[in-house]
């Protein structure tokens, strides 16, 4: 699906808003690509150059002819999780970058990479320079499992593992140990299935993607032949989408390994499920209990790798080898469900079971982190407390994306939530709640501050130099791109 189609589908979903706002989104584009700059123009700063940041910028630029938007990003490269989170074998999801590039190149939008808000410049300094500040820096922390042994060698967060194979500079040194036969992934969302698929995919498939060369080399040597994807609830509560399950079912050289008993009663429950959940559950049932046809049976017999779901299980402890240095297995509590459907709760039965494995990947969710002492932060929910994106008790401060909602949904979800925040900012400008009558210096004063502090931002045109180098490097080895893996390399190319 192209970025444009994605955007259009999001707008169709969004007809509940005021007609004035919808009209602005359709007609507010500056067709000439030029805008009269003025010190009196409303100036908005967005912190975070991922999907939430770009969608918020897009909404603001289209809604008002006079608003100027500056996006600040910690890394020298834009696009956040579209670059570093989307699986390499899902290139179609990255098409949204085309839309973000159009926004970045708009005459009333500027991108400043390599600027670490909270360190290089404070949120309070941004608030003095801009009429509104929107925090859209996402969720870069890990939710911990809170079980003994989770710091052993061989235990990784899915966020770091995904960052490693996608070229996130901070994960470059991860070097996961893939020398074991069995890997256990905790969590059953789309990210968990991405990780399972990457671990089991034939190299011929991965070689054609933008997966990093070090990850490709490590996977070529990998001894992992069996991946179990574990969830605390049952088949009808699984968090992934049907597309990801279908990809696992059709993955070459693999066969499924399920526990029939975990699907008891599921056939009867099917009739009460909403259609998308019903189709997904039917596919799992067919995979787990169906009798494969001759062709499928032959494919499964020849398969050298195994994947499977394990339901009604929660981690209790990561087990160590005799030297207490690395993972040798995982102890799982056996659960039963109380209630049904989405609200069903997993309750401990008192039973446990041990699974031998040398690799444990925790995919139980990303977590937002506080950025600055001046910004309200709810540590228990790991979000900035807000109402429709308006940060509570902080006039002129807004948030969008996962920082606003928690790490939930797909890119279209983030799009709609970011559009909602954009609408809140514009409503506040229109109503006078946000005073935009006094001129603000915007990037002019922030650039001067950064210059004084020895920080040199990477502009979007600089990113395009990095982009060209990566694409060229990829072409040389028949890949869509070969990413630069360190901030130093990125800055070197940006400065040329």
Query: Which pTM value belongs to this model?
Result: 0.90
Q: What is the mean pLDDT of residues 322-335?
A: 95
**Dist. CA 163–CA 366, nearest whole Å:** 12
Per-residue pLDDT band for 375 (boundaries 50, 70, 90) equals very high
Residue-level pLDDT at 39? 61
- The per-residue pLDDT for range 18-32, each reduced to its tens digit, is 334 434 443 443 333
Which pair of structure tokens corresponds to residue 238? 């699984």
Which pair of structure tokens corresponds to residue 89? 């074998």
Q: What is the mean pLDDT of residues 421-431?
A: 97
Q: Beta 155-157 vs 359-362: how paired, if at all?
A: parallel
- The per-residue pLDDT for range 152-167, each reduced to its tens digit, is 999 999 999 999 999 9
Which pair of structure tokens corresponds to residue 75? 């890394």
- In this structure, what DSSP letter does residue 130 have? -
Per-residue pLDDT band for 410 (boundaries 50, 70, 90) equals confident
**Dist. CA 49–CA 74, nearest whole Å:** 8
Q: Which of 68, 47, 55, 71 is CA-nearest to residue 458?
A: 71
Cα–Cα distances in angstroms (integers) from residue 208 to residues 89, 161, 485, in the given order = 8, 20, 18
- The per-residue pLDDT for range 172-194, each reduced to its tens digit, is 999 999 999 999 999 999 999 99
For residue 372, pLDDT over 60 is answered with yes
Q: What is the mean pLDDT of residues 261-288?
A: 93
Of all residues in the chain, the percent with pLDDT exceeding 70 is 92
**Dist. CA 429–CA 432, nearest whole Å:** 5
Contact of 319 with 327, CB cutoff 8 Å: yes
CA 349 to chain centroid, in Å, comes to: 34
- Reported as half-sphere exposure (CB side, CA atoms, 13 A), residue 390 has a value of 16
Dihedral pair phi/psi, residue 391, rounded to 5° = -70, 130
Residue-level pLDDT at 326? 95
Q: Which of 132, 114, 104, 169 is CA-nearest to residue 41?
A: 132
- In this structure, what DSSP letter does residue 43 have? E
CATH number (3.40.50.300, 3.30.70.20, 1.10.600.10, 3.40.50.720) of 3-140+368-458 reads 3.40.50.720
- Name residue, tokens 């608030």: 127
Residue-level pLDDT at 1? 34
Q: Beta 132-135 vs 155-157: how paired, if at all?
A: unpaired
Dihedral pair phi/psi, residue 249, rounded to 5° = -60, -40
Which residues of the chain form CATH 3.40.50.720? Answer: 3-140+368-458
Residue-level pLDDT at 40? 77
Contact of 400 with 134, CB cutoff 8 Å: yes
Which pair of structure tokens corresponds to residue 113? 């990479």
Does an H or E element contain 445, and which?
helix 443-452
- The per-residue pLDDT for range 80-114, each reduced to its tens digit, is 999 999 999 999 999 999 999 999 999 999 999 99
Per-residue pLDDT band for 424 (boundaries 50, 70, 90) equals very high
Per-residue pLDDT band for 16 (boundaries 50, 70, 90) equals very low
CA dihedral 138, 140, 142, 143 (to 10 degrees): -20
The DSSP line for 263-298 is GTTHHHHGGGS-HHHHHHHHHHHHHHHS---HHHHH
Residue-level pLDDT at 22? 39
- Reported as half-sphere exposure (CB side, CA atoms, 13 A), residue 465 has a value of 13
Which pair of structure tokens corresponds to residue 67? 């608003």
Per-residue pLDDT band for 38 (boundaries 50, 70, 90) equals low
**Dist. CA 55–CA 52, nearest whole Å:** 5
pLDDT averaged over every residue in the chain = 91
**Dist. CA 359–CA 178, nearest whole Å:** 7
Burial class (CB in 10 A: 0-12, 13-18, 19+), 310: buried
**Dist. CA 229–CA 192, nearest whole Å:** 7
Task: Note the CATH number of domain 144-360.
Answer: 3.50.50.60
Q: Beta 43-47 vs 155-157: how paired, if at all?
A: unpaired
Residue-level pLDDT at 66? 95
For residue 450, pLDDT over 70 is answered with yes
Residue-level pLDDT at 197? 98
Which residues of the chain form CATH 3.50.50.60? Answer: 144-360
Which pair of structure tokens corresponds to residue 277? 């959940």
């Amino acid at each position: 699906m192209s970025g444009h189609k994605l955007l259009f589908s999001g707008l169709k979903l969004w007809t509940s808003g005021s007609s004035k706002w919808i009209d602005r989104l359709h007609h507010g584009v500056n067709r000439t690509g030029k805008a009269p700059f003025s010190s009196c123009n409303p100036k908005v700063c967005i912190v975070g150059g991922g999907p939430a940041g770009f969608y918020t910028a897009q909404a603001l630029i289209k809604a008002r002819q006079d608003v100027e938007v500056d996006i600040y990003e910690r890394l020298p490269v834009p696009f956040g999780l579209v670059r570093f989170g989307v699986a390499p074998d899902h290139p179609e999801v990255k098409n949204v970058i085309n839309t973000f590039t159009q926004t970045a190149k708009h005459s009333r939008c500027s991108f400043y990479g390599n600027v670490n808000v909270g360190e290089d410049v404070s949120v309070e300094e941004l608030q003095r320079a801009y009429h509104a500040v929107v925090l859209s820096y996402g969720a870069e922390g890990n939710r911990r499992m809170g079980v003994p042994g989770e710091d052993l060698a061989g235990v990784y967060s899915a966020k770091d593992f995904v960052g490693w194979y996608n070229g996130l500079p901070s994960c470059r040194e991860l070097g996961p140990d893939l020398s074991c036969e069995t890997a256990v992934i905790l969590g059953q969302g789309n990210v968990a299935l991405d990780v399972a698929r990457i671990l089991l995919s034939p190299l011929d498939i991965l070689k054609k993607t933008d997966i990093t060369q070090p990850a490709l080399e490590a996977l070529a040597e990998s001894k992992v032949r069996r991946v179990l994807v574990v969830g605390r609830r049952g088949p009808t509560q699984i968090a992934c989408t049907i597309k990801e399950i279908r990809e696992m079912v059709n993955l070459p050289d693999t066969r499924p390994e399920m526990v029939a008993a975990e699907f008891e009663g599921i056939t009867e429950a099917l009739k009460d499920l909403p259609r998308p959940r019903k189709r997904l559950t039917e596919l799992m049932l067919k995979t787990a209990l169906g009798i494969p046809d001759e062709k499928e049976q032959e494919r499964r017999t020849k398969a050298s790798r195994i994947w499977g779901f394990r339901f009604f299980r929660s981690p209790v402890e990561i087990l160590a080898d005799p030297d207490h240095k690395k993972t040798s297995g995982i102890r799982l509590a056996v659960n039963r469900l109380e209630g049904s459907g989405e609200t069903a709760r997993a309750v401990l039965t008192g039973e446990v079971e041990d699974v031998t494995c040398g690799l444990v990947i925790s995919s139980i969710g990303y977590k937002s982190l506080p950025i600055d002492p001046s910004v309200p932060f709810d540590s228990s929910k790991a979000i900035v407390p807000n109402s429709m994106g308006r940060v509570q008790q902080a006039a002129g401060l807004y948030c969008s994306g996962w920082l606003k909602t928690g790490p939930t949904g797909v890119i279209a979800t983030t799009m709609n939530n970011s559009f909602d925040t954009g609408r809140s900012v514009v409503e506040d400008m229109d109503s006078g709640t946000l005073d935009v009558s006094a001129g603000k210096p915007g990037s002019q004063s922030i650039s001067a501050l950064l210059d004084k502090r020895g920080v040199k931002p990477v502009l979007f045109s600089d990113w395009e130099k990095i982009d060209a180098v990566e694409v060229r490097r990829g072409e040389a080895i028949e890949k869509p791109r070969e990413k630069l893996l360190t901030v130093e390399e990125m800055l070197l190319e940006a400065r040329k």
